[in-house]
Each structure stands twice: as C-alpha cells, then as structure tokens.
C-alpha cells in the first residue's frame, strides 16, 4: 500500500528523512536504524522503561534537531503553516516532540502508534501554548506501543488546549489499515486546504487521471471589489476582472484569501460576471469553514518559488519510523514522490 491516492490532489513535495544508525541497548548495542535508543524489548506502555527514558544518551534530542533543521530549510521557501510533519511508532514520538518544540505553528502533526517522550511531556507541562493541530491514531491491540500511550498523549495535549483528534482502531496491532490511511489523508487535506473529489480506495489507489479540487488564493481586496460590484449590479469587464485577480501588483503585506476551485482554467476563461460570482462564492464558502486562513502576498510569492521540478503550494515533512539500511531518502524536490507509508508490524529497531 502506498500514498499514491494523495498524489492526485496537487503537486505536494514529500520529504523523507532517514533515521540514523544507533547502538541499540535492547539488541546488545548492535547498530540499527532508529530515531532514538530502545533499552528493552518489552511493549512500551505508560510507565515502562522506554516510556520514562530521559534520553541521557541524547539520541532523541539529536533526531529532533535534525528534523527541525529540515523544517527551517523549508521555511526559507514557504511559511511554517504550510508544513505538515508526521511519523509512525518511534518516528511519531519524534514528530510530536518536534511539533511541540518548533517555535512557530505547523500545518499539523500526524502521530501513528506513538507516544509523548519525557521531553515532550515536559514541554507541555511547562506551559506550551502552540496552535499546531494534531492527529493521533492508535490500534487498540497494538503489541509494541501500547494503546495507553496514545490515550495518554491525547489526554495530555487536550489538557494543554491543543487541537487534537484521537482516532482509535479496534483490534489493530502495530500496523496500518485502510481506515487509518483514510483518516490521515482527510486530516492532511483539511489542514492543507485540499478536497478529495471522491473517496479513496486504499487497496486500488486513485486513478491518476481522475481530477480533484485544488486550493488557490485570490487578492482579498479584489474579491471584495468584485462582491461590491455584483451587489450593485454593475457590469464587470474581462480586463477589470483580470486586473482585480492579478496578484503581481500587490504589496508584500497585502492579503490573499483561499478558495477551493475544481477547474481554474475554466473559471478564468468564463464570462467575467460568472467568473466573479464563482470566485466570491468560493472564497465565502471556505471562509465559513474551519479551513486555511488568509496569507500575505509575500507568503504567496514564496509558495510560487518552489524548488525546481515542483509546482507545489504546500510542502509536507514526514518522518517515518525507520528506513532500510543503506537506503537514501528520495529526492525531496521530485514531483510526485511517494510519501513515507506507515509500515506493517516489524521487530523494533530492525529495518
């Protein structure tokens, strides 16, 4: 199973980070890929050895620093609110700690079968007041990271007034399933302002030729002017419509508003009055929902200056549990690169 269904949405940029080789005490200090060290092979539960491990060796801290450095690189191109981070198992623990540690809000954080490390719990108890949204997914029969770890993480974040969705999957072990993938896809689309035009069949994937709606931004002042003219019954010329919708003349601080459009080319080639009605309606509809907010023209321009080979308006940074030894992350700027998929159950620390 892959993330192919999401690739029909838009040109997202997927960044796969490769876990380092670490000496794992639970395997006689054999070097295996992981985001941190495991001290026992027992199931991680609230209060267990690895759950309360304070990272005296610094392996978790080093991994968090590596991921945050990657996010900072992305922020040179796009605002942090367009970066979504996630991970599975130990990767989920790192993703949660990064989202809590990062000084600016992210688009979201997905944690599958993970837990809050002692450092992450301390960040929250010390008064964390961030606005990043979280999706926590956990199988009730998880036999490697106990379900109680997911419950505890959701409770701790909720008490800190964080926006948290906690999805429980009855009977699911330390693995993924179609329902879980659907939940992750829905969360990502909501946080990044995309709408699937059809439900996902995770077994078959989404037809690469199928169309989906996409999010675009229009000048806020231009939309307001169109709305005013429509209310007054004034005639809107093609030239006037194009000028009002043209972002090139905007100052960096001018605002732009999001809208979900199914066929942008058709909208722009329609009669100006019909196009104006569609733009005004689309922006009003999205503004009434709990979706993405306004951005400045400067932020919009940064989004257009995506890395070569990509036309993305958003970038997601996903930390997987671990990668195959000797492998390397795919090209982060390659259009259509697959996202890291939560792997099936495997021995802890093994690739």
CB 21 within 8 A of CB 32: yes
- The pLDDT of residue 31 is above 90: no
More confident residue, 347 or 309: 347
What is d(CA 66, CA 61) in angstroms, rounded to the nearest whole number?
9
State yes or no: pLDDT of 284 exceeds 80: yes
Confidence band of 249 (pLDDT split at 50, 70, 90): confident
Give the rounded percent of residues in the chain with a pLDDT score beyond 90.
Answer: 49
Three-state DSSP class for 40?
coil
How far is residue 45's CA from residue 260's CA, in Å, rounded to a whole number? 42
For the stretch 330-349, pLDDT in tens is 333 333 223 333 333 334 44
Active site residue 39: no
pLDDT for res 43: 96
Out of 28-42, 82-96, 318-332, give the one with best mean pLDDT: 82-96
List all residues 6 or more positions away from 16 whose beta carbon is below 8 Å from its beta carbon: 318, 320, 323, 329, 330, 332, 337, 339, 340
Q: How does residue 304 score in pLDDT terms, banded at 50, 70 and 90? A: low
**Residue 6: band (very low, low, confident or very high) from pLDDT cuts 50, 70, 90:** low
For the chain, give every domain's residue range.
4-193+310-319, 214-291
Q: Report which listed range, 91-105, 291-305, 315-329, is most confident.
A: 91-105
DSSP 233-294: T----HHHHHHHH-GGG--TT-EEEEEEES-HHHHHHS-HHHHHHHHHHHHHHHHTSS----
Computed over every residue of the chain, the mean pLDDT equals: 79
113 contacts 148 by C-beta, under 8 angstroms: no
- Residues 212-243: tens digit of each pLDDT: 456 788 999 999 999 999 999 999 998 898 88
- Rounded Cα–Cα distance for residues 51 and 39 (Å): 10
Q: What's the CA gap between 190 and 204, in Å, rounded?
A: 23
- Between 260 and 146, name the one with better pLDDT: 146
Q: Determine contact, residues 34/91, Cβ cutoff 8 Å.
A: no
Please report the pLDDT score of residue 14 as a whole number.
78
CA-based radius of gyration for the chain? 22
Tens of pLDDT, residues 38-83: 999 999 999 999 999 999 999 999 999 999 999 999 999 889 999 9
Q: 53, 142, 148, 317: which one is catalytic?
A: 142
Q: CB under 8 Å to 325, separation ≥6 — which residues?
A: 21, 32, 33, 351
pLDDT tens, 90-141?
999 999 999 999 999 999 999 999 999 999 999 999 999 999 999 999 999 9
Least confident of 172-186, 216-230, 246-260, 283-297: 283-297
Distance, in Å, from the CA atom of 9 to the CA atom of 224, rounded to the nearest integer, reads 28
In whole angstroms, what is the distance from residue 203 CA to residue 190 CA? 22
* pLDDT value for 226: 92
Residue of 13, 48, 89, 310 with catalytic role: 89
Check pLDDT > 50 for residue 160.
yes
Backbone dihedral region for residue 145 (phi beyond 0: left; psi -120 to 50: alpha; all else: beta): beta
Cβ pair 131, 163 in contact under 8 A:
yes
What pLDDT is recorded for position 45? Answer: 97
Mean pLDDT, range 136-155, rounded to an integer: 97
Average pLDDT over residues 257-266: 79
pLDDT of residue 155: 97
pLDDT above 90 for 313: no
Q: Which of 174, 194, 317, 323 is catalytic?
A: 174
4-193+310-319 maps to CATH 3.40.50.150: no
Three-state DSSP at 139 gives: strand
Alpha helices, DSSP H, located in the chain: 59-74, 90-101, 118-125, 147-159, 178-192, 220-232, 238-245, 264-269, 272-287, 297-304
3-state SS assignment for residue 192: helix
Answer with the residue of higher pLDDT: 266 or 244: 244
Q: Which two tokens stand for residue 335?
A: 């259009």
Residue 328 burial (CB count, 10 A): 9
Residue 143 has pLDDT above 90, yes or no: yes
- Cα–Cα distance between 192 and 238 in angstroms, integer? 31
More confident of the two residues 331 and 265: 265
Strand-pairing partners, residue 216, are 259
């Amino acid at each position: 199973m892959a993330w192919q269904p999401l690739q029909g949405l838009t040109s997202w940029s997927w960044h796969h980070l490769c876990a380092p080789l670490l000496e794992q005490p639970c395997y006689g200090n054999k070097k295996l890929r992981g985001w941190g060290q495991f001290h026992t092979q027992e199931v991680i539960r609230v209060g267990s050895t690895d759950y309360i491990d304070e990272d005296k060796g610094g392996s978790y801290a080093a991994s968090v620093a590596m991921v945050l450095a990657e996010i900072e690189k992305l922020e040179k191109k796009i605002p942090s609110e367009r970066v979504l981070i996630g991970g599975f198992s130990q990767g989920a623990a790192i993703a949660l700690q990064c989202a809590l540690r990062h000084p600016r809000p992210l688009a979201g954080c997905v944690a599958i079968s993970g837990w809050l490390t002692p450092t992450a719990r301390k960040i929250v108890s010390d008064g964390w007041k961030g606005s990043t949204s979280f999706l926590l997914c956990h199988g009730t029969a998880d036999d490697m990271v106990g379900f109680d770890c997911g419950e505890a993480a959701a409770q701790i974040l909720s008490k800190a007034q964080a926006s948290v969705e906690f999805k429980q999957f009855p009977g699911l072990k330390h693995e993924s399933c179609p329902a879980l993938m659907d939940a992750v896809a829905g969360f990502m689309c909501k946080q990044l302002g995309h709408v699937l035009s059809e439900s996902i069949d995770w077994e078959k994937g989404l037809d690469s030729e199928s169309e989906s709606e996409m999010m675009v931004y229009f000048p806020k002042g231009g939309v307001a002017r169109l709305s005013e003219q429509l209310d007054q019954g004034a005639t809107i010329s093609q030239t006037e419509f194009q000028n009002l919708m043209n972002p090139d003349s905007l100052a960096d601080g001018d605002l732009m508003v999001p809208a979900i459009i199914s066929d942008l080319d058709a909208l722009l080639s329609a009669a100006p009055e019909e196009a104006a009605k569609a733009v005004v309606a689309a922006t009003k509809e999205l503004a009434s929902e709990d979706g993405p907010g306004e951005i400045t023209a400067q932020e919009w321009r940064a989004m257009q200056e995506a890395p070569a080979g990509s036309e993305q308006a958003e970038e997601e940074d996903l930390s997987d549990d671990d990668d195959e030894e000797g492998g390397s992350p795919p090209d982060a700027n390659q259009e259509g690169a697959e996202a890291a998929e939560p792997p099936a159950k495997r021995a802890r620390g093994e690739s």
